[in-house]
Protein backbone atom coordinates (compact mmCIF):
# COMPACT_ATOMS: atom_id res chain seq x y z
CA UNK A 1 0.00 0.00 0.00
CA UNK A 2 1.32 3.41 -0.87
CA UNK A 3 1.41 6.31 1.50
CA UNK A 4 -1.08 9.17 0.78
CA UNK A 5 -0.83 11.96 3.37
CA UNK A 6 -4.27 13.41 4.18
CA UNK A 7 -3.06 17.03 4.25
CA UNK A 8 -1.96 17.18 0.60
CA UNK A 9 -3.81 17.56 -2.69
CA UNK A 10 -3.22 15.28 -5.67
CA UNK A 11 -3.58 14.94 -9.43
CA UNK A 12 -4.62 11.97 -11.52
CA UNK A 13 -1.13 12.06 -13.06
CA UNK A 14 0.37 11.31 -9.60
CA UNK A 15 1.70 14.69 -8.50
CA UNK A 16 1.10 16.01 -5.00
CA UNK A 17 0.63 19.66 -3.96
CA UNK A 18 1.35 21.20 -0.58
CA UNK A 19 0.32 24.77 0.23
CA UNK A 20 3.12 26.53 2.11
CA UNK A 21 2.67 29.22 4.77
CA UNK A 22 3.58 32.01 2.33
CA UNK A 23 0.91 30.93 -0.16
CA UNK A 24 3.34 29.26 -2.56
CA UNK A 25 2.91 25.57 -3.32
CA UNK A 26 5.38 22.70 -3.27
CA UNK A 27 5.01 19.95 -5.85
CA UNK A 28 6.39 16.44 -6.07
CA UNK A 29 5.39 12.97 -7.21
CA UNK A 30 3.48 10.54 -5.04
CA UNK A 31 4.74 7.49 -3.23
CA UNK A 32 2.76 5.39 -5.69
CA UNK A 33 4.49 7.12 -8.63
CA UNK A 34 7.99 6.67 -7.24
CA UNK A 35 7.25 3.01 -6.53
CA UNK A 36 6.03 2.44 -10.06
CA UNK A 37 9.08 4.19 -11.54
CA UNK A 38 11.62 2.35 -9.42
CA UNK A 39 14.99 3.75 -8.38
CA UNK A 40 15.32 7.33 -9.61
CA UNK A 41 18.66 8.09 -11.27
CA UNK A 42 18.21 11.47 -12.95
CA UNK A 43 15.92 14.43 -12.39
CA UNK A 44 15.70 17.59 -14.43
CA UNK A 45 14.06 20.36 -12.38
CA UNK A 46 12.70 23.67 -13.74
CA UNK A 47 14.51 26.98 -13.43
CA UNK A 48 13.19 29.79 -11.27
CA UNK A 49 10.96 32.23 -13.09
CA UNK A 50 9.59 29.79 -15.61
CA UNK A 51 5.88 30.37 -16.25
CA UNK A 52 3.72 27.27 -16.27
CA UNK A 53 0.18 26.54 -17.33
CA UNK A 54 -1.72 23.79 -15.56
CA UNK A 55 -0.81 20.53 -17.29
CA UNK A 56 2.56 21.73 -18.63
CA UNK A 57 5.42 19.29 -18.26
CA UNK A 58 7.82 21.00 -15.86
CA UNK A 59 10.29 18.27 -14.92
CA UNK A 60 11.63 14.94 -16.11
CA UNK A 61 12.24 12.10 -13.70
CA UNK A 62 14.20 9.14 -14.96
CA UNK A 63 14.44 5.83 -13.17
CA UNK A 64 16.52 2.81 -14.05
CA UNK A 65 13.47 1.76 -16.07
CA UNK A 66 12.11 4.78 -17.87
CA UNK A 67 11.79 8.53 -18.26
CA UNK A 68 8.62 10.20 -17.16
CA UNK A 69 7.28 13.76 -17.37
CA UNK A 70 5.96 15.56 -14.32
CA UNK A 71 3.04 17.93 -14.95
CA UNK A 72 2.17 21.23 -13.31
CA UNK A 73 -0.94 20.69 -11.18
CA UNK A 74 -1.78 24.39 -11.35
CA UNK A 75 -0.62 27.48 -13.27
CA UNK A 76 2.01 29.77 -11.84
CA UNK A 77 5.63 30.89 -11.85
CA UNK A 78 8.43 28.63 -10.67
CA UNK A 79 10.03 29.94 -7.47
CA UNK A 80 12.69 27.25 -7.34
CA UNK A 81 13.51 23.73 -8.44
CA UNK A 82 14.94 21.32 -5.87
CA UNK A 83 18.66 21.56 -6.62
CA UNK A 84 19.41 18.70 -4.23
CA UNK A 85 17.85 16.24 -6.64
CA UNK A 86 20.64 16.64 -9.19
CA UNK A 87 23.11 14.85 -6.93
CA UNK A 88 20.54 12.80 -4.99
CA UNK A 89 17.65 11.83 -7.24
CA UNK A 90 16.97 8.91 -4.89
CA UNK A 91 15.45 11.41 -2.40
CA UNK A 92 12.28 11.04 -4.45
CA UNK A 93 12.25 7.33 -3.61
CA UNK A 94 13.10 7.68 0.06
CA UNK A 95 11.13 10.83 0.91
CA UNK A 96 8.64 11.50 -1.88
CA UNK A 97 6.62 13.96 0.27
CA UNK A 98 9.62 15.57 2.01
CA UNK A 99 13.16 16.12 0.75
CA UNK A 100 12.09 14.68 -2.63
CA UNK A 101 9.92 17.70 -3.54
CA UNK A 102 10.58 18.82 -7.13
CA UNK A 103 9.57 22.49 -7.36
CA UNK A 104 8.01 25.40 -5.51
CA UNK A 105 5.55 27.51 -7.43
CA UNK A 106 3.85 30.86 -6.96
CA UNK A 107 0.31 30.05 -8.02
CA UNK A 108 -1.21 32.19 -10.75
CA UNK A 109 -4.69 31.76 -9.31
CA UNK A 110 -6.76 29.59 -7.02
CA UNK A 111 -6.01 25.89 -7.54
CA UNK A 112 -8.90 23.92 -9.02
CA UNK A 113 -9.54 20.35 -10.00
CA UNK A 114 -7.15 18.81 -7.48
CA UNK A 115 -8.00 15.58 -5.68
CA UNK A 116 -8.23 15.02 -1.94
CA UNK A 117 -6.28 12.13 -0.45
CA UNK A 118 -9.43 9.98 -0.45
CA UNK A 119 -10.18 10.86 -4.06
CA UNK A 120 -6.60 10.06 -5.08
CA UNK A 121 -6.83 6.71 -3.27
CA UNK A 122 -10.05 5.99 -5.18
CA UNK A 123 -8.28 6.95 -8.42
CA UNK A 124 -5.45 4.50 -7.64
CA UNK A 125 -7.95 1.75 -6.83
CA UNK A 126 -9.71 2.38 -10.14
CA UNK A 127 -6.42 2.29 -12.07
CA UNK A 128 -5.80 -1.10 -10.55
Query: Which of residues 41 and 51 has its CB atom nearest to another protein in the complex?
Result: 41
As measured in angstroms, the least distance from the Cβ of 9 to another protein is: 26
> Would you say 113 and 31 are in contact if contact means Cβ atoms under 8 Å apart?
no
Binding of residue 5 to another protein (CB under 8 A): no
> Would you say 17 and 52 are in contact if contact means Cβ atoms under 8 Å apart?
no
Query: Which of residues 3 and 86 has its CB atom nearest to another protein in the complex?
Result: 86
Q: Which of 42, 51, 53, 98 binds another protein (CB under 8 A)?
A: 42
Residues 75-94 that bind another protein (CB under 8 A): 86, 93
Q: Which of 64, 106, 116, 119 binds another protein (CB under 8 A)?
A: 64
Where would I find the beta strands (DSSP E) of 1-128? Answer: 9-10, 15-19, 25-29, 40-44, 51-52, 57-63, 67-71, 76-81, 103-107
Q: Which stretch binds another protein (CB under 8 A): 10-18, 59-67, 74-82, 117-125?
A: 59-67
Gap between the Cα atoms of 58 and 42, Å rounded: 14
Gap between the Cα atoms of 119 and 107, Å rounded: 22
Q: Are strands 51-52 and 57-63 parallel, antiparallel or unpaired?
A: unpaired
Q: Which of 41, 48, 51, 118 binds another protein (CB under 8 A)?
A: 41
> Would you say 8 and 84 are in contact if contact means Cβ atoms under 8 Å apart?
no
Site residues, another protein (CB under 8 A): 35-36, 38-39, 41-42, 44, 60, 62, 64-67, 86, 93
Amino acid sequence: MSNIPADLKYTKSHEWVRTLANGNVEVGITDHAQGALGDLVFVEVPEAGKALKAGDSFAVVESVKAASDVYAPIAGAVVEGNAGLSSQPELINSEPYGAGWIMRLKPGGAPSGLLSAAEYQAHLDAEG
